A and B are shown apart, each in its own frame.
Chain A
């Protein structure tokens, strides 16, 4: 059975929307980081789905997806490191309590 492209796309969109939602409403930075991961994965799903159904050379999409996974891992590392550093100074990981850049 071949799952139609639309299903992937809908799945990706849902995943993306949940990610956006998470970013916008979570006050915990860790949660925001997780949400970002979800957005990245939504993109990965789309990439792989398109590469399989429409592309002349399907490897491109897959390679892209792997790149994104690697980058996401790196981003998570850097992000978590920042969060750790921040936590050490401010004893919090809630975004509305970190107002250093606010006017």
Chain B
């Protein structure tokens, strides 16, 4: 079964081809086709994962491109790290597609939606099993395309169309960095294979190129995983249908950036400066996004910033050397964040609004949704024994063992804020009294709630394999992969529960929940007062730290101005010169024409005139009278006669 691994992405791809070409014939069957393809992918993937668990990494490759004397091979690498992602993507992807069948049921472009989702699945699965950077990058970009298409899925809405473009362009800025990073790596080490990375890092050890390559590759993460300063696209991406937000912008695609760092881990490990940068950026992002999430009122925006924040967590973990911790959080986060988004989708489906201020008291009306949502919130807040607790604890432990108090406390504070804003959301939406009487919420159909419960099981249990209950099986499994020679196995600290860290983590989780309860259920008037007291902070959070505005001033406007200015230069300078050259030539030729007409041709005419003038004189002789001619002839004869005589 393992040998069919390369064909895993093929199933969703076939579904894509069918749905995009024959969408108008298959209609609602599109969902069935896509789900079937996902299930098929699952059916191949799960045994393959089992194989890797028992026998270790699997790889196969074939020659793809000739670059000079080097050949680039494409192939498949399925190591423990890839297995984690493969597991997450196939499982969550399938569940979300089932959910989508209900959520998108009445959409006019039902089949197109599933076509795009299938293409996304194909790309994501290719990325997961890719064995080298180039194939990885190709899949990475196709995912970006799907993200673009799906964010702008309801393209009649201007905001959706703009958001899609923004997402693509912003991530592309990061992707270009990634692209240059790939070239740097190839130029420096002559290989793009993940399996050779340890060797490559060794080759480039202690050169600035290595740090450069690592940082440039990290640019890709910054764009795709919405890290500071390229995070601005992800909140806007919420314009897409909610299942898309769950699948692409929470569980899988955005996590691919984290996966990229994990894949490149040998490279980063050899470049401490790059690692440091990664950790700092991750921490900053985590804190910043959580801060913005505190004041967001759109249910999806809260989740979007939460996603950014959690991704920052993972990035920070990897930057701190917590390879297993970051990957672990990636997996648990995929479950609970997908669940949160799907829950939010169910709420939106039921209430037809996304504004938290209009919701309230939904628990009674949407029992399944509310229950699962609360479970997921508990998980993300880090309440034991749900999944989020274990992975967040691992990350904090990594920060703790890295002896970096600034990062440690920032992350702890972020954890506090996370649990606060999540329960702020829960209390505002599901508890208290309904704020808007016009909303008649209803529970979603089973096709949507069943996936919610299945994901809830994941959100609750996903942490167990990495917990002491299973003797940190997850961490040990990861350590058995290609990275075994490098890092992860060496640090026993990752597998030890540090009481101080656990205490911090628990304090943060419960502190956030309790304060949210106090502010939003107990004393609903209090938040307004607090926001007035801390007005500068509140406005900063509400305005998302003015990133969009700053970028507009700093980049977008100058960019437009630059392009217009260059166009003006093109038209009014370069083309002007060209036209002037043409005109100057025309003018010179006019002068030459004058010379030609009046001087050159004048000379010719002068010759003619001279002849004419001379002949005018001579023709006076031509009287036409015969006798004159005869007389002249006669006189001439006489003259000749006399001349003859004179001799």
Contact = CB atoms under 8 A, between A and B. Distances in A.
**Are the chains A and B members of one assembly?**
yes
A20 to B, nearest CB: 6
B627 A95 contact: yes
A25 B619 contact: no
A24 B623 contact: no
Contacts of B62: none
Contacts of A20: 634
B622 interface: yes
Interface string B621-646: 01111110011001000000000000
A96 B627 CA distance: 9
Interface string B259-283: 0000000000000000000000000
Nearest to A95: B626
Contacts of B631: 24
Contacts of A24: 627, 630-631, 634
Given A20-B634, A24-B631, A24-B634, A95 B625 contact: yes
A103 B624 contact: yes
A102 B624 contact: yes
Contacts of B622: 102-103
A97 to B, nearest CB: 10
Contacts of A32: 626
A102 B623 contact: yes
Contact of B619 (A23, A95, A99, A103): A103
A101 interface: yes
Contacts of B625: 95-96
Contact of A99 (B624, B630, B634): B624
Interface residues of B, number: 10
Interface string A18-60: 0010011100000010000000000000000000000000000
A24 to B, nearest CB: 5
Interface in A54-103: 95-96, 98-99, 101-103
Contacts of A103: 619, 622, 624
B135 to A, nearest CB: 99
Contacts of A99: 624
A103 B619 CA distance: 8
Contacts of B634: 20, 24
Interface residues of A, number: 12
Given A20-B634, A103-B619, A25 B624 contact: no
B615 to A, nearest CB: 10
Contacts of A101: 624
A23 B619 CA distance: 23
Nearest to A35: B630
A96 B624 CA distance: 8
A99 B623 CA distance: 9
Contacts of B623: 102
Nearest to A20: B634
Contacts of B630: 23-24
A79 to B, nearest CB: 12
Contacts of A96: 625
Interface in B153-194: none
Nearest to A36: B630
Contacts of B619: 103
A23 B624 contact: no
A20 B623 CA distance: 19
A99 B625 CA distance: 7
Nearest to B625: A96
A95 B622 CA distance: 14
A66 to B, nearest CB: 25
A20 B631 CA distance: 9
A7 B317 CA distance: 156
Contacts of A102: 622-624
Interface in B602-633: 619, 622-627, 630-631
Nearest to A100: B624
B620 to A, nearest CB: 9
A92 to B, nearest CB: 13
B619 to A, nearest CB: 5
Nearest to B619: A103
A98 B627 CA distance: 12
A95 B624 CA distance: 9
Contacts of A98: 626
A83 to B, nearest CB: 12
A25 B626 CA distance: 10
Nearest to B624: A102
A37 to B, nearest CB: 15
A102 B619 CA distance: 10
Nearest to B630: A23
Given A24-B630, A102-B622, 14 more contacts: A20-B634, A23-B630, A24-B631, A24-B634, A25-B627, A32-B626, A95-B626, A96-B625, A98-B626, A99-B624, A101-B624, A102-B624, A103-B619, A103-B622
Interface of B: 619, 622-627, 630-631, 634
22 contacts: A20-B634, A23-B627, A23-B630, A24-B627, A24-B630, A24-B631, A24-B634, A25-B627, A32-B626, A95-B625, A95-B626, A95-B627, A96-B625, A98-B626, A99-B624, A101-B624, A102-B622, A102-B623, A102-B624, A103-B619, A103-B622, A103-B624
In the A-B complex, list the 6 residue pairs whose CB atoms are closest, starting with the nearest. A102-B624, A99-B624, A95-B626, A24-B627, A103-B622, A103-B619
